[in-house]
C-alpha cells in the first residue's frame, strides 16, 4: 500500500496488474444518459453476467420443446435441477455436499431454519442477535418468538456497539453469550453486517455459543460471494443467503441454505416438510409418510424454480472458474485502495469522511460505509449526477462496495475525484 498515489496513473497501473481485469467484460455495466456508470452497489443487487440470457433461453427452449417431459428430458433435467449447485455453492461457503441446498428465497429459508433451530423451553428461550439487524431478519425473529406464544421483549437479546462506537466488539458478543448462558437457545447474526460492513468472528461466536449449549446460525446475505467462509470448519449449525447481491444472480433470485452435517440426518431436528424434501427414490410413488432426504435437501419444500436457477448457474459458473480466493484477494486490494483514497481526501482538506467499517481486513468484506459529516443527501445526488451508483442511508451514510468481478481501480480513482471536488 505504501507506494499508492491518488492518481489516474496509479489506478491504471493497478488495473494492468490485475489478473481478473478481463472478467468485467462478462457483465453488463448499466448506462445512464449514454454513459457507463460506476456501479458500487453490488452489495444490493449484483450486475448481470452476460451469459444469463443464454442460460435462461436454454430452459425456455427446453420448456417449449418438451413441456412436462422437460422434467426428465431437458439437458439439465428439472427434477434434479437444484443438484447442479451443490458443487459450486459448497466451495463458496466452505461446506460439505450434503450440507447445502439452493431453494426458495432468503427470508423464507430463515423461517424454515428457525423452525428447526429455535425450539424454546422454559429454561432455554433466548435469541441473541445484533441490534438493528436487517429489518426482514428482525421481523422473522419476532414472529418466530411469537409463534411459540412468547414475548420478543423477554426473548430477544440485541447486542449493540458501545456508547460512541459504530462497530460491535467481538469480545462483547462473546461475553454476552457467557452471561446469558443456559437461557440462550440460539444465536442468529448477520455474518457481515449490511449497514456497517463489519464481519463478525463467526468461528469464535459459534464456539462460544456451543459452549453454553446454544445453536448458532448466520444470515450470510452480505457474506456469500464476498468473504471467505468455512461454515463446516467453524461448525456453524445453519446459515442462509440470497443470490442476488454478491452472487449476481438476478433480482429476487433463488436463495441457498446450509445445515451442518450433524443435523441433516438427525430425526430430532424438526423440519417443515414438502415433497421435494422427501426421499428421491419413492417421491413419485407418493407415500403417505414423509421420509426426509438425509441431506440439507430435506429442508426443500418445493420443486426447483428453474428459470431463476438458470441465472444463478450462469453466475456461479464464473465463481467456480475464478474461485473465491482470487476474488477475495482482489477485493481486499480494491477496498484498501478506496480506503486509501478517502483518507487522502481527508488529509488534504477539512472534510470529515469517516469510514465506520473496521480497518482490519479480516473484519470487513468489500463494502465501506462512510459517514459524510456535514453533508446531506446533496452529496449522494452529486455522485448520482456523475453516474456513480452508491447506496445512501439517512441521515448521511454512503455504502460503497467495489466488487472484484466487475469494478476496477480506475473507477475508485474517479469516485475519489468527484468526492474530493465536491467536499473540499
Select the span of 6-14, 90-98, 99-107, 352-360 touching ligand PLP (CB under 6 A).
99-107
Q: Is 107 a binder of ligand PLP (CB under 6 A)?
A: yes
List the x/- string, 111-150, binding to ligand PLP by CB under 6 A. -----------------------x-xx-------------
List the x/- string, 302-341, binding to ligand PLP by CB under 6 A. ----------------------------------------
Of residues 130 and 411, the one with the C-beta less far from ligand PLP:
130
Of residues 152 and 294, the one with the C-beta less far from ligand PLP:
152
**Shortest distance (Å) from residue 219 CB to ligand PLP:** 4
Of residues 242 and 400, the one with the C-beta less far from ligand PLP:
242
> CA 363, CA 167: separation in Å to the nearest integer?
10
**Shortest distance (Å) from residue 130 CB to ligand PLP:** 10
Q: Choose which of 105, 138, 204, 384 interacts with ligand PLP (CB under 6 A).
A: 105
**Shortest distance (Å) from residue 244 CB to ligand PLP:** 7
Contact 142, 128 (CB under 8 A): no
**Shortest distance (Å) from residue 38 CB to ligand PLP:** 22
**Shortest distance (Å) from residue 205 CB to ligand PLP:** 16
Long-range contacts of 131-135 (CB under 8 A, 24+ apart): 131/158, 131/159, 131/160, 131/168, 132/160, 132/195, 133/158, 133/189, 133/190, 133/219, 134/190, 134/194, 134/219, 134/221
Contact 191, 258 (CB under 8 A): no
**Shortest distance (Å) from residue 40 CB to ligand PLP:** 16
Select the span of 53-61, 104-112, 121-129, 331-339 touching ligand PLP (CB under 6 A).
104-112
Total residues at interface with ligand PLP (CB under 6 A): 12
Of residues 271 and 399, the one with the C-beta less far from ligand PLP:
399
**Shortest distance (Å) from residue 239 CB to ligand PLP:** 11
**Shortest distance (Å) from residue 259 CB to ligand PLP:** 18
Q: Which residues are bridge partners to 257 per DSSP? A: 101, 240
Q: What is the 3-state secondary structure (H, E, C) of the chain?
A: CCCCCCCHHHHHHHHHCCCCHHHHHHECCCEECCEECEECECCCCCCCECCHHHHHHHHHHHHHHHHHHHHHHCCCCHHHHHHHHHHHHHHHHCCCHHHEEECCCHHHHHHHHHHHHCCCCCCCCEEEEECCCCHHHHHHHHHHHHHCCCCHHHHEEEECCCCCCCCCCHHHHHHHHHHHHHHEEEEEEECECCCCCEECCHHHHHHHHHHCCCEEEEECCCCCCCCCCCHHHHCCCEEEECCCCCCCCCCCCCCEEEECHHHHCCCCCCCCCCHHHECCCCHHHCCCCCCECCCHHHHCCCCCCHHHHHHHHHHHHHHHHHCHHHHHHHHHHHHHHHHHHHHHHHHCCCCCEEECCCCCHHHECCCEEEEECCCCHHHHHHHHHCCEECEEECCCEEEEECCCCCCCHHHHHHHHHHHHHHHC
> CA 14, CA 11: separation in Å to the nearest integer?
5
Of residues 300 and 351, the one with the C-beta less far from ligand PLP:
300
Of residues 221 and 341, the one with the C-beta less far from ligand PLP:
221
Site for ligand PLP in 185-244 (CB under 6 A): 190, 194, 219, 221-222, 242
Of residues 81 and 194, the one with the C-beta less far from ligand PLP:
194
Of residues 27 and 134, the one with the C-beta less far from ligand PLP:
134
Of residues 108 and 232, the one with the C-beta less far from ligand PLP:
108
**Shortest distance (Å) from residue 274 CB to ligand PLP:** 18
**Shortest distance (Å) from residue 168 CB to ligand PLP:** 15
Of residues 133 and 327, the one with the C-beta less far from ligand PLP:
133
Site for ligand PLP in 41-70 (CB under 6 A): none
**Shortest distance (Å) from residue 101 CB to ligand PLP:** 16
Q: List residues binding ligand PLP (CB under 6 A).
A: 105-107, 134, 136-137, 190, 194, 219, 221-222, 242
Amino acid at each position: 500500500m505504501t507506494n499508492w498515489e491518488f492518481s489516474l496513473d496509479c489506478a491504471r497501473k493497478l488495473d494492468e496488474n490485475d489478473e481478473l481485469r478481463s472478467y468485467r467484460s462478462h457483465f453488463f455495466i448499466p448506462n445512464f444518459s449514454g454513459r457507463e456508470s460506476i456501479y458500487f452497489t453490488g452489495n444490493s443487487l449484483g450486475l448481470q453476467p452476460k451469459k444469463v440470457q443464454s442460460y435462461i433461453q436454454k430452459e425456455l427452449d427446453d420448456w417449449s420443446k418438451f413441456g412436462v417431459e422437460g422434467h426428465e428430458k431437458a439437458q439439465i433435467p428439472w427434477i434434479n435441477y437444484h443438484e447442479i449447485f451443490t458443487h459450486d455453492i459448497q466451495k463458496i461457503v466452505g461446506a460439505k455436499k450434503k450440507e447445502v441446498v439452493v431453494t426458495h428465497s432468503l427470508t423464507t429459508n430463515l423461517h424454515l431454519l428457525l423452525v428447526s433451530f429455535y425450539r424454546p423451553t422454559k429454561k432455554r428461550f433466548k435469541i441473541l442477535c445484533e441490534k438493528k439487524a436487517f429489518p426482514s431478519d428482525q421481523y422473522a425473529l419476532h414472529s418466530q418468538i411469537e409463534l411459540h406464544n412468547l414475548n420478543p421483549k423477554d426473548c430477544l437479546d440485541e447486542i449493540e456497539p458501545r456508547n460512541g462506537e459504530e462497530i460491535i466488539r467481538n469480545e462483547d458478543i462473546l461475553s454476552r453469550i457467557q452471561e446469558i448462558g443456559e437461557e440462550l437457545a440460539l444465536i442468529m447474526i448477520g455474518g457481515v453486517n449490511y449497514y456497517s460492513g463489519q464481519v463478525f468472528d463467526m468461528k469464535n461466536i459459534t464456539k462460544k455459543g456451543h459452549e453454553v449449549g446454544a445453536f448458532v446460525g448466520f444470515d450470510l446475505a452480505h457474506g456469500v460471494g464476498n468473504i471467505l467462509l468455512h461454515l463446516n470448519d467453524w461448525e456453524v449449525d445453519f446459515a442462509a443467503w440470497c443470490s442476488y447481491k454478491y452472487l449476481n444472480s438476478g433480482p429476487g433470485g433463488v436463495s441457498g441454505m446450509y445445515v451442518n452435517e450433524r443435523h441433516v440426518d438427525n430425526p430430532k431436528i424438526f423440519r417443515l416438510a414438502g415433497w421435494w424434501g422427501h426421499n428421491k427414490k419413492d417421491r413419485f410413488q407418493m407415500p403417505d409418510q414423509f421420509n426426509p432426504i438425509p441431506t440439507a435437501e430435506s429442508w426443500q419444500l418445493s420443486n426447483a424454480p428453474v428459470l431463476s436457477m438458470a441465472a444463478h448457474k450462469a453466475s456461479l459458473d464464473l465463481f467456480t472458474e475464478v474461485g473465491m480466493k482470487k476474488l477475495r484477494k482482489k477485493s481486499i486490494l480494491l477496498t484498501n485502495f478506496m480506503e486509501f483514497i478517502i483518507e487522502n481526501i481527508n488529509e488534504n482538506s477539512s472534510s470529515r469522511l469517516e469510514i465506520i467499517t473496521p480497518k482490519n481486513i479480516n473484519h470487513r468484506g468489500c463494502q465501506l460505509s462512510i459517514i459524510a459529516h456535514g453533508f446531506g443527501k446533496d452529496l449522494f445526488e452529486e455522485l448520482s449526477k456523475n453516474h456513480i451508483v452508491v447506496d445512501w442511508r439517512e441521515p448521511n451514510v454512503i455504502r460503497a462496495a467495489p466488487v472484484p468481478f466487475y469494478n476496477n481501480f480506475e473507477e475508485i480513482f474517479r469516485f475519489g475525484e468527484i468526492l474530493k471536488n465536491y467536499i473540499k
